[in-house]
Structure 1
Amino acid sequence: MQAWRKGPDGPQKTSSDSMSRLMDSDMDYERPNVETIKCVVVGDNAVGKTRLICARACNATLTQYQLLATHVPTVWAIDQYRVCQEVLERSRDVVDDVSVSLRLWDTFGDHHKDRRFAYGRSDVVVLCFSIANPNSLHHVKTMWYPEIKHFCPRAPVILVGCQLDLRYADLEAVNRARRPLA
């Protein structure tokens, strides 16, 4: 099977062996006129990575209950592009007359081994921190940025502050709202 992948000078043919190593969806690689961009989203647990991804990939708007829900660790990765046609369609756009498919990869904040796998063949890394949590910004400098530069030395890094809505929130009131009614 002949397929296409992004190369330094534009689309390049790949063999089926190299295609099997690619962990992204095959759908766009079979289309020579689509530039596939792998974007890995990293940061501490509970800083808003998955909600950021869902806002872009699923056009999701969250209810007040969802916003206050207790944090549940998640991984949102390539399977969403395979099983959900809407997510696949929303991943495509045209930038400077070039068709682009943006593949967003969510990561666990506390699973180093899984993150190392996710960094492979990344074109760009989005590094998230919570504006409401100063420690998460400290970890950007002390942990996340060095890790990114180790695994993806050439990938551009985009720093994103999430959870602006919680910056001045009364955290005690937010925590009370999270508890189930007795």
Structure 2
Amino acid sequence: MSDSTENPNEVAIKCVVVGDNNVGKTRLICSRAYNEEAPNNRCNTSTSHVPTVWAIDQYRNNKQVLDNARCVVDGTIVSLRLWDTFGDHHKNRRFAYGKADVVVICFSICDEKSLNQVTKFWLPEVRKHNKSTPVLLVACKVDLRFAEVREKIKCKGTLSKTIKKSDIIFP
């Protein structure tokens, strides 16, 4: 576990979040960082995304994010530091993997290719850089599994695609 520079009495846990582009990594991180189910107003993905900088800047400059990162586990103050990565920036991910305490691999519930990429690409890459670091697999966009998919996707961005019912991954 990493040491925190903000408070010597707390332990910082570095959690690196990886996965294909447009699987929901940034939304997952923002919902945790702001303690909100849908942090659309604070986590604007219509602007350009800068990998790993979100975590560094937000934890240093945003008191709410820093406060939400703290909790007590077995009597120890823990600060969860979430590192967002960009799916196709290999050099930035190598930097993010450094001293990671845990890696979260995300896939989209409405993109079977992103699930297949977990074993074909993401797990081998994580193990290349972090041989014994714990890995969690997280399904994102689960709200789309049973919803009427076309109604859920209201804003079409450059990374959006039309989702068909046949795209949805069921348990």
The structure number with the bigger radius of gyration is: 1
Letter in 2 for 1:89: D
For the 8 Å contact 1:46–1:71, the answer to whether it is kept is no
Identify the residue that residue 155 of structure 2 maps to in structure 1. 178
- Structure 2 runs not aligned, ≥5 long: 158-171
Q: Give deviations 1:106-164, integer Å, cap 9, x for gaps.
A: 00011001001000000000110001100000000000000000011111000000101
1:46 aligns with 2:25: no
Give the 3 Å change call, closer, same or farther, for CA 173–71 of structure 1 in structure 2: farther
Equivalent residue in structure 2 for 1:116, among 82, 90, 94 = 94
1:129 aligns with 2:107: yes
For the 8 Å contact 1:70–1:178, the answer to whether it is kept is no
RMSD: 2.7
- Structure 1 runs not aligned, ≥5 long: 12-24
Letter in 2 for 1:37: I
Helix, strand or coil for the counterpart of 1:178? coil
- The one of the two structures with greater contact order (alpha-carbon pairs below 8 A, sep at least 6) is 2
Give the 3 Å change call, closer, same or farther, for CA 92–144 of structure 1 in structure 2: same
For the 8 Å contact 1:34–1:100, the answer to whether it is kept is yes
- TM normalised by structure 2 equals 0.78
- TM normalised by structure 1 equals 0.74
Aligned counterparts of 1:37 and 1:156: Cα–Cα separation in 2: 12
Identify the residue that residue 84 of structure 2 maps to in structure 1. 106
Give the paired residue count.
153
Aligned counterparts of 2:47 and 2:139: Cα–Cα separation in 1: 18
Identify the residue that residue 6 of structure 2 maps to in structure 1. 27
Helix, strand or coil for the counterpart of 1:145? helix
Give the 3 Å change call, closer, same or farther, for CA 90–44 of structure 1 in structure 2: same
Deviation at 1:70, TM superposition (A): 6.3
Identity among equivalent positions (%) equals 51
1:57 aligns with 2:33: yes
